[in-house]
Amino acid sequence: MAKIIHKEALNHTTDLIEIEAQEIAKNYQPGQFVIVRANQYAERIPLTVVKTTKKTITLIVQKVGYSTKEIGHLTIGDDVLDVVGPLGNAIEIHDIKHVLAVAGGVGAAPLYPQLYAYHQKGITITLVLGAKSDSYLILEDAFKAICDHIYITTDDGSKGLKGFVTDQIKALLDENTYDHAIAIGPLVMMKHVVALNKKHQLHTDVSLNPIMIDGTGMCGNCRVTIGNETYFACIDGPDFLGDNVDFDELIARQNYYQDEEHICRLKLVNEDE
């Protein structure tokens, strides 16, 4: 069990929670994640560790599905039943001069520790931060402290450029060159960013978030096809070079339990009443 010692709402759908997890914090490296089970009936879900202190880890949870909402119901002082990690591999920080980083929605959370590591190596960072609207943007101030250039896009134009991150990237790629890119966000976004960057001979790292159960390479639920090879995101990733990832297959795998998710949400509505 792990106690929640701090919690704050980053926006109306996204919470930041800090939990006691000394052993995980000790061995943690940027890029790694934990698997969390809120209570004995809950699913196991993977969440990126955004920050650590000596005794705690910080997670950012977007309350989109039933299980993430259950975590959202927990408050300071509550215990999370199961937290296991740190899982997955540390990210590889490339030896480059200028990185183009792209975050979509809550993807900003897993991107943050990566950019922090780039920043510490003195690498120039250009960030495109996209969200549905102004109120969905997270970590803007934290990024400001470590990035050299920040461009914001929102689907509804409530802040920054009205449009998708790709609209902004197109404009940037016409004017500038970058040594490497990182994109983290919804699968559809990563798919389009990778495709666009490829046209400019720019390689893109992505962080994949398939459905996971154990997180130790045992179940195979988290598999992804890259080139013609199968990888397990939990033990081979979660970060991969995105150029040859089969995003369409992954999107299908991600959505496979959509109907069941709906049934769970109905349950949530009933419980809330």
Judged by the rule CB under 6 A, the positions of this chain that interact with ligand FES are: 212-215, 217-222, 232, 234
27 binds, among another protein, ligand FES, none (CB under 5 to 8 A by kind): another protein
212 binds, among ligand FES, another protein, none (CB under 5 to 8 A by kind): ligand FES
3-state SS, residue 179: coil
Nearer to ligand FES, 157 or 217 (CB): 217
Beta strand residue intervals within the chain, DSSP E: 2-11, 14-20, 33-37, 45-52, 56-62, 79-80, 82-87, 98-104, 124-131, 149-154, 161-162, 180-184, 204-207, 223-226, 229-232, 239-241
* Amino acid, single-letter form, for residue 143: F
41 binds, among ligand FES, another protein, none (CB under 5 to 8 A by kind): another protein
State the nearest-atom distance from the C-beta of 118 to another protein, in Å. 24
256 binds, among another protein, ligand FES, none (CB under 5 to 8 A by kind): another protein
State the nearest-atom distance from the C-beta of 52 to another protein, in Å. 14
Q: What is the CA radius of gyration of the chain?
A: 18
Nearer to ligand FES, 91 or 222 (CB): 222
Nearer to another protein, 32 or 126 (CB): 32
Give every CB contact of residue 175 below 8 A, 6+ residues apart in sequence. none
State the nearest-atom distance from the C-beta of 82 to ligand FES, in Å. 14
Specify whether the CB–CB gap between 97 and 179 falls below 8 A. yes
The label of the residue with tokens 């978030």 reads 209
State the nearest-atom distance from the C-beta of 219 to ligand FES, in Å. 3
Residue 168, CA distances (Å) to 39, 103, 155, 268 in order: 42, 12, 12, 38
Nearer to ligand FES, 146 or 213 (CB): 213
The two three-digit tokens of residue 156, written as one number: 């509804």
With residue 26 as reference, give the H or E element that holds it: helix 22-27
State the nearest-atom distance from the C-beta of 90 to ligand FES, in Å. 17
101 binds, among another protein, ligand FES, none (CB under 5 to 8 A by kind): none
State the nearest-atom distance from the C-beta of 225 to another protein, in Å. 5
Taking every pair of C-alpha atoms in the chain, what is the biggest distance, in angstroms? 54
Exposure of 212 in the CB half-sphere (CA atoms within 13 A) = 27
CB atoms within 10 A of CB 232: 20
- Residues in contact with another protein by the rule CB under 8 A: 23-24, 27, 37, 41-44, 66-67, 70, 81-87, 213-221, 223-225, 230, 235, 246, 248-249, 251-253, 256-257, 260-261, 263-264, 267
Nearer to ligand FES, 91 or 99 (CB): 91
Nearer to ligand FES, 88 or 130 (CB): 88
Give every CB contact of residue 269 below 8 A, 6+ residues apart in sequence. none
Q: Closest-CB residue for ligand FES?
A: 234
Nearer to another protein, 153 or 239 (CB): 239
Q: How deeply is 228 buried, as exposed, middle or buried, from its count of CB atoms within 10 A (0-12, 13-18, 19+)?
A: exposed
State the nearest-atom distance from the C-beta of 89 to ligand FES, in Å. 13
